[in-house]
Structure 1
Amino acid sequence: MVNKSAHVVIVGAGFGGISAAHELAKSGFRVTIVDKNPYTTFLPLLYQVATGGVNPGDVTYSLRLFAAKQKGHVRVRRAAVTGIDKVNRLVQVDDGPDLTYDYLVIATGVTANFFGIPGAAEYSRTLYTRTGSIVVRDMIYGGMEDVADGGRKSFDVIVVGGGPTGVEMAGTLAEMKTIGIPKAYPEITPDQMNVTLVEMAPQLLTPFAKNLQEYTLKQLDDRGVDVRLNTAISSVHADHVELKDGTQLPADLVIWGAGIGGYDVVGEWDLPLGRGKRIEVEPSMLVVGEDRIFAVGDCAVITTDPLPQLAQPAIQQGAFVGKQVERLASGEPLASFSYKNKGIMATIGKAAAVAEFPNGWTVTGFPAWVLWVVVHLFFLLGNRNRVMSMINLAARYSFGSKSSATIVGDPLSPPSETALAERKEAQEKAKLEARRKHEEQAEPQHG
């Protein structure tokens, strides 16, 4: 018999956290979701936000509305977790009183991993948050405005990483370059925007079958993306990227999708961390060495069977942990998590995508693209989000050849423009200083 007064705190409202909350609510537990944002974000479509395909509100969903729709007692606490007091079972937060817990589920997700590359964290932009994607969108918009006004000759975007995020971003940017931008900016020619995809491995989409990797490479080549495989970055600067071989590539905007890792703050919670700062868990999803703390999703790694950091493992682990807490509260033995692989997919652009199923069956082109659209719309929370995303995606891909079909924001200067302004300011100061010294030397000497 489940103790319905037991309180479960869930840290993080991503795929794993939301899935766990839904399952726990059905079992009658009191649940509190703690997140610094008042919404949950559908991460797979953030690249569409960054390229003006969908609105930010279409890929986010109110946590309080989600909580209100659950059958059990679910509450939301908007705060950032600063620590965990395991002795007193407290979740410490930066705003308001600490939260007591009977059981704790950590689902913090991950952030960008820059691997210590100089300048990468400072000058790159990422697509792991709603805010970050809006910044990228506005920087692209700002760069195009500057080119159209004659402030710069071209706009160079470098996408780092050949996984799904990098491929999807590069492919969509290429379509903007050849279809959307010429319609929205008749002053700009396609060759004034350059898209380069840099990948350290010898292939794109490493987890996918070889034929899908080859298809993806050809599709990006056909769309005008400069794909550079077997290429490593040594440093990132405000207006260029330096490669390991010494080559410098001009860069107005660098979009980082090369790797992910756990948040630094999680390392302060006295939990066992593995590679990539991921929390080590048992097959039961209990954190190693703990009896009431679980971890799910990208932030966790099963030490005996590491799984890919994708949405499906997180969703399945969240639901599984909901049942595990019920077993624990009822005094029943815990089970071991078993991942049901439903396949992987990535989109490259209009009518071009790749999908691979557990039985080895692969699909490319338009059928894979339709499948990708259907799956992503299905997993969005809320009918409004599904409808609006469907309308916006239809506008982008059905009418893109006739209109720009792009959602825009406020122009934001990319890093290279800031660097250019700083250089100009430095040059002007140098000129003024040289003029001052020249005038001083030219003054007549009086004896």
Structure 2
Amino acid sequence: MASLPLSSLSSLAGKRLLLGVSAGIAAYKSALIVRLLKQAGCEVRVVMTEGAQAFITPLTLQALSGEPVRTSLLDPEAEAGMGHIELARWADAVVIAPATADLIAKLVHGMADDLLTTLCLASEAPKLIAPAMNQAMWRHPATQRNVAQLANDGWQLIGPAAGDQACGDVGPGRMSEPEDIFSALAQHFASPIEAPKSITGNAPHIVITAGPTREALDPVRYLSNHSSGKMGYALAAEAAALGARVSLISGPVNLATPHGVERIDVETAMQMHQAALRLAPQAALFIGCAAVADYRADSAAEHKIKKTDDSDTLTLTLVKNPDIIAEVAALPANQRPVVVGFAAETQDLAGYAQDKLQRKGLDMIVANDVSQQGLGFGSDENAALLFWRVTSGTEQLAAPPQPKTQLAALIIRQALTLLPTQSSGALS
């Protein structure tokens, strides 16, 4: 199980959370949601619809939560004392994950034909919902009307994410990952009073680039890399949880936008360059975590490039893309943020990282060895060497293999110590 973001523990400790589970294949992920919440010190009670029990047993969630799982509105023992009203009043928040299209439609129309929908009507607690369904069902106008109405009624939507689905389709509708749902709950409870405990003074504006870029060769092919964007998104989530104002410039990834983060979607290195140079002068901190393509095609073919029988080779002319991180670091002093870069290497990690730190004029660099199996690109864990400038030269810190959420907390906190105190908030 992934470790929790360090800033999430205090906001959730002692909270009473009611987890609703409806009939979707993603119901198996509800077990991890319960574990994450329990690890954060929450009291968790689970309510399941009848259909949800076909995907995961009540006994599993009872063992993880340490509390009986409620499944029926007409339970004589529980309802002897109007148990559903007591449970509705007990919760500090209600979260439903997964939430099917059917359940969402019932909630919109105020139906109360089972325990979960009845609790939602009876509870005055904040309510969060993580939709999960086939991509066509999610895109259907009826579903889109329903989720818009839920938002108008005060529900907070978490996701959905996009990607491969159990039915074989690809697209939006996947339930957000348990860590993202946990993060949304933690940030929901991080009140304006609590946030300054992490960042004091004016909240800094942090701009982060994440994910890969894609450089078109023709209408169907492109140059890219294996970056999943997970590290950049973890950084954005951690910075937002600490109280910063975060702009996330994202290449194409299958990840949900972290709660409270402004996301700017781009595809090519030139688009990311344009967005970065527009936002960087407004920022206190710029973190270049994206895996930007070094080269792009001199000109993309208008039509699909065809394979020919008269040649076994294909020659492409590539041109160099702008060096985004170096250009941000070279901004005039009155526009330049503190600049943090990343170095993904396969050998001589420390040597290449320190060279890049000096050559590009960065304030800090995070270097990771992408040749290590299970770390870096696409994985949930990473290890890194951090180097940053001090008056007498550079200092460094080695971070052993750990979940990217945990490493993100370390990186953000170290980067914030480099900010001038007069221009932004600081850690308390």
| TM, length-normalised to structure 1 | 0.24
Q: Which has the larger radius of gyration?
A: 1
Please identify which structure carries the higher helix content: 1
Higher relative contact order (CA 8 A, sep 6+): 1
| TM, length-normalised to structure 2 | 0.24
